[in-house]
């Protein structure tokens, strides 16, 4: 999903947002530092397979997924981190690891760590390793309708 598609989606829904350009960074904590965003306010998108189905998990950059909890709360048999080769074709105009958390545009479930729901604003990758979008969590929730669960722990 290129930045244009994300911006068009946000604009068509009258969402207020800010684009933050920063030096190229590849880990979520490097991105937070480069963009001068608190690690708790930076939402990272992690691709996970739940019983073989590709799913997005969105959590603060300073947290990690608790796979046991995710498995338990979803009532599934198998939850595992997806390999880049398994999902990069789904996002042809994005740099791998910089997918925006809009799984709803790809008929993909989106799980959000409950810790993000406490943030007034969140920032997330806009498809590239040098650009973020910052918007209210409330607007993100209304657009994506994610499944909110306690699925992460402080890294």
Task: Output 115 or 32, whichever has higher pLDDT.
Answer: 115
Backbone angles phi, psi at 84, to 5 degrees: -55, -40
Q: Are strands 110-113 and 53-60 parallel, antiparallel or unpaired?
A: parallel
Q: What is the pLDDT of residues 108-118, one digit of tens each?
A: 999 999 999 99
CATH fold of 3-154, please?
Answer: YbaK protein (3.90.960)
Q: Is the pLDDT of residue 2 over 80?
A: no
Q: Is the pLDDT of residue 1 over 50?
A: no
Q: What is the pLDDT of residues 14-25, one digit of tens each?
A: 999 999 999 888
The per-residue pLDDT for 65 is: 97
Single pTM value for the model:
0.93
Task: Output 113 or 105, whichever has higher pLDDT.
Answer: 113
| Alpha carbons 30 and 127: distance in angstroms, whole number | 16
Q: Domains of the chain: which residue ranges? A: 3-154
Summarize the chain as % helix, strand, coil (round to 5).
Answer: 30, 30, 35
The helix (run of H) or strand (run of E) holding residue 95 is none
Q: Give the torsion sign (CA, 146, 151, 153, 155).
A: negative
| Contact in structure between 31 and 42 (CB atoms under 8 Å) | yes
Residue 6: Cβ within 10 Å count? 22
The per-residue pLDDT for 6 is: 85
Q: What is the mean pLDDT of residues 47-62?
A: 96
Residues belonging to the chain: 155
Q: Is the pLDDT of residue 74 over 50?
A: yes
Rg of the chain over CA atoms, in angstroms? 14
């Amino acid at each position: 999903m290129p930045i244009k598609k994300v911006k068009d989606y946000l604009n068509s829904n009258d969402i207020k947002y800010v684009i933050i350009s920063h030096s190229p960074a590849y880990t979520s904590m490097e991105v937070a530092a480069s963009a001068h965003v608190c690690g708790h306010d930076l939402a990272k998108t992690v691709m996970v397979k739940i019983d073989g189905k590709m799913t997005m998990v969105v959590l603060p950059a300073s947290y990690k997924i608790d796979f046991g909890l995710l498995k338990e709360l979803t009532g599934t048999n198998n939850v595992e981190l997806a390999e880049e080769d398994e999902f990069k074709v789904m996002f042809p105009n994005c740099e791998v690891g910089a997918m925006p958390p809009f799984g709803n545009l790809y008929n993909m479930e989106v799980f959000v760590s409950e810790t993000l729901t406490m943030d007034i604003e969140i920032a997330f990758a806009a498809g590239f390793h040098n650009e973020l979008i910052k918007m209210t969590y409330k607007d993100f929730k209304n657009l994506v309708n994610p499944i909110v669960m306690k699925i992460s722990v402080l890294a």
